[in-house]
Amino acid sequence: MSISKIRDLHDAFISKKKSVSEHISESLAHIRARDGELHAFLDVHIESAEREAERIDAKIASGDKLGTLEGIGTALKDNILVKGTVTTAASQILKSYIASYDAFVVERLRDAGAIIIGKTNLDEFAMGGSTENSAFGPTKNPYDITRVSGGSSGGSAVAVASDMVPIALGSDTGGSIRQPASFCGVVGFKPSYGRVSRSGLIAMASSLDQIGPFATSVEDAEIVFRAIEGKDPLDMTSQEINEGVSNKKEYVLGIPEDFMKDGLDPKIEKVIRDSFKKADGANFKFVPVSLKDLSYALACYYIIMPAEVSSNMARFDGMRYGDRAKADTLFEVYGKTKAKGFGVEVKRRIAIGTYVLSHGYYDAYYLQAQRVRTLVSKAFDEAFLEVDAIVMPTTPSVAFKLGEKSQNPLAMYLEDIYTVPANLAGLPAISLPIGKSEGMPVGLQLIGKRFADYELLAIAKRFEETVA
């Protein structure tokens, strides 16, 4: 796409250098040209997108004021409900499910005038780190189609990285926005838990899930975040935050040196350290911080998350929505529906979650994990007394080969080692592309104080400008 930044597109629409219809046509042409190979989309809303583009072009012709996001093509991860369209969560059990209402973020995007072009691929019910767990086939990395896109929001990351759309939404439970953003060389932002409503998001792990944007710049991610954040009466965990942002001359960034030793590819570390050197002294000061309790975060996450998965997946019984298997008794219907409709990774997580919640193991595993979660949050709180943000890798490696880790769940889970702590503590976190290793993108992660989302975005924007 010749113009991909939101403000550039907005200016082009107003000056009539480009029409909204032309912008949408370019997006659809890119999807037709590349999606057969990459498989970023599960559904493309051609007619509704073209119709909405024509409406906004007529508005521009009449001289009406245009909002910043108005006319901008947008993609949504297919676990976010869009009324009247198929929403599958990349699962066979929901392959024919038609959403009955719009998610809160969809309402906000529509209010802002964004045009929803389609729904993107993901790991089934957002369970995975490669988008290989989709019931409809994997999404491939645009830099190397023999490699994964990351997950679980791989489709949204690829849609932005391959210039199909300027912006997209994903969901992040343990790194599902930041990890594919890192693998695909785009910006991925996970807001603080509670800043964006989860109403209309098909729940995976309710105390961890958060919707956030993919974009090609921090500024674009901020524009989208500003549109979708806020209090929602349908989500009691959502909050209206009046955040005052300080514009400091120098930001202090903490490096958790001990934690960064865990499984980090030396080539990734070199790219990360080089970015530190470039930014040091140029509006940034780097200091070591102690975050030893973060070493327990991954184990803690893989107890709490499956427990919540086990609870949330219970609703998919073939009774109220989704496909239903034929059987003679009610319990046979339940069993056959789930056996047929769920993939291997979903079944694995349900089994683990049911186990840790069962009598005799609840105290030993689940309650203990919740205590560790508190320690992780306290470790961040103590670090933020000294620093403005934490800086670390987004992932321990670049995008790996398709099939390389699909038969080794533990190796796949270790890809989340740097991203899960922010979810456990409910903190905002962003991944920025800062370079490449062996031709593949490398992401840097910045983690901010809870509800200091705009401050984190300001830090990320300055870092982006410094290392560009």
pLDDT in tens, 177-207: 999 999 999 999 999 999 999 999 999 999 9
Q: What is the DSSP string of 101-116?
A: S--HHHHHHHHHT-EE
Q: Please give the angle made by the CA atoms of 425, 431 and 437, to the nearest 5 degrees.
A: 130
Answer yes or no: pTM beyond 0.95: yes
C-alpha 426/C-alpha 9 separation (Å) is: 33
Q: Is 77 a catalytic residue?
A: yes
Look at residue 348 in the predicted model and tell me its pLDDT: 96
CB 59 within 8 A of CB 66: yes
Residue 117 to residues 24, 49, 82, 237: CA-CA distances in angstroms?
Answer: 8, 6, 11, 29
Say if residue 227's pLDDT is above 80: yes
The amino acid at 377: S
- Round to whole Å and give the CA distance between 82 and 374: 35
4, 19, 77, 199: which is the annotated catalytic residue? 77
Q: Is pLDDT at 333 greater than 70 in this prediction?
A: yes
Q: Which residue of the set 176, 182, 310, 397 is catalytic?
A: 176
Q: What is the mean pLDDT of residues 301-318?
A: 94
Residue 295: active-site member: no
Tell me 68's DSSP state. Answer: T
pLDDT at 365 over 50: yes
Contact present, 254 and 387 (Cβ < 8 Å): yes
Interior angle at CA 178, CA 398 and CA 408, nearest 5: 55
Q: What is the mean pLDDT of residues 284-303?
A: 94
Q: What is the pLDDT of residue 245?
A: 75
Q: Is 311 a catalytic residue?
A: no
Residue 468 has pLDDT above 80, yes or no: no
User: Among residues of the chain, what percentage have pLDDT more than 90?
Assistant: 89
Least confident of 74-78, 168-172, 263-267, 444-448: 263-267
Which of the four pLDDT bands, split at 50, 70 and 90, describes residue 243? confident
What is the predicted pLDDT for the residue at 101? 97
Q: Look up residue 296 and give its DSSP letter.
A: G
CA separation for the pair 109, 117 (Å, rounded):
12
pLDDT band at 3 (very low <50, low <70, confident <90, very high): low
pLDDT at 241 exceeding the cut of 60 = yes
What does the mean pLDDT of the chain come to?
Answer: 95
Q: Which residues pair with 440 in a beta bridge?
A: 437
Where does residue 360 fall: left (phi above 0), alpha (psi -120 to 50 degrees), or beta otherwise? left
- With tokens 């769920």, the residue in question is 342
Report the SS3 class of residue 425.
helix
Residue identified by tokens 């005052």 is 244
Give the tokens for residue 307. 């427990």
pLDDT single digits (tens) 13-63: 999 999 999 999 999 999 999 999 999 999 999 999 999 999 999 999 999
User: Which residue out of 134, 149, 152, 162 is catalytically annotated?
Assistant: 152
Distance from C-alpha of 143 to C-alpha of 198, rounded to nearest angstrom: 32
The model's confidence at residue 122, banded by pLDDT at 50, 70 and 90, is very high
Q: How far apart are the first and last CA of the chain?
A: 21
- In one letter, which amino acid is 68? T
pLDDT at residue 2 greater than cutoff 70 = no
Write down the pLDDT at residue 115.
Answer: 98
pLDDT band at 173 (very low <50, low <70, confident <90, very high): very high
Write the DSSP symbol of residue 202: -
**Domains defined for the chain, CATH in brackets:** 1-468 (3.90.1300.10)
Backbone torsions φ then ψ of 312, nearest 5 degrees:
-70, -30
Query: What residues are paired with 211 via a beta bridge?
Result: 171
* Cβ pair 186, 161 in contact under 8 A: yes
Q: Residue range 302-318: average pLDDT?
A: 94
Radius of gyration of the chain from Cα atoms? 21
192: cis peptide before it, omega within 30°? no
Each residue's pLDDT tens digit, 160-170: 999 999 999 99
Average pLDDT score over residue span 90-94:
96
Q: Name the band, by pLDDT with cuts 50, 70 and 90, for residue 1.
A: very low
